[in-house]
Structure 1
Amino acid sequence: MREEGKCSICSKESKKGIYLLKVYICEACEAEMIDTPADDPKYEYFVKRMAKAHRSMIPS
């Protein structure tokens, strides 16, 4: 059984998702990210959330 992970995009706990460079993304956010065209304002939101999540993985 998989452990729950906290999604780096929506911050919800989920048992279904992926790790992308050690950053957890739930299945729902993954699907929405894939379906969002680059000219949609929501795309920029996803870019910023992923950048923030990746920066948090860099040790200080």
Structure 2
Amino acid sequence: MEEQRAEQLCIICGDEKQEGLRIIDGFICETCELEMVRTEVQDAKYPFFIHQLKRIWIQKNA
């Protein structure tokens, strides 16, 4: 039997998805994960990703 995963809220795009990466209490959907790993440091979207990832650590330490 195949287990169905519950949808989770992505900390990057804010969409609810089933497949992705769980980091502590945060969730990053597959689409955002792929976009993040392909983003160069010089890309305009890079600081946005860093800011969103910091939210995991802020929530954990709040």
If the TM-score is normalised by the length of the shorter chain, which range does it land in?
0.7 to 0.9
Alignment of 1:1-60 (within 5 A): 1-59=4-62
Structure 2: give runs of 5+ residues left out of the alignment: none
TM-score (norm 1): 0.86
Q: Which runs of 4+ in 1 moved over 4 A?
A: none
Identity of aligned residues (%): 32
TM-score (norm 2): 0.84
Quote the Cα distance in structure 2 between the aligned partners of 1:16 and 1:58.
26
Match of 1:25, SS? strand
Quote the Cα distance in structure 1 between the aligned partners of 2:8 and 2:61.
19
Match of 2:28, SS? strand
Q: RMSD between aligned alpha carbons?
A: 1.2
Quote the Cα distance in structure 2 between the aligned partners of 1:29 and 1:54.
18
Instruction: Work out the number of aligned pairs and report it.
Output: 59
The structure that has the greater radius of gyration is: 2
Structure 1: give runs of 5+ residues left out of the alignment: none
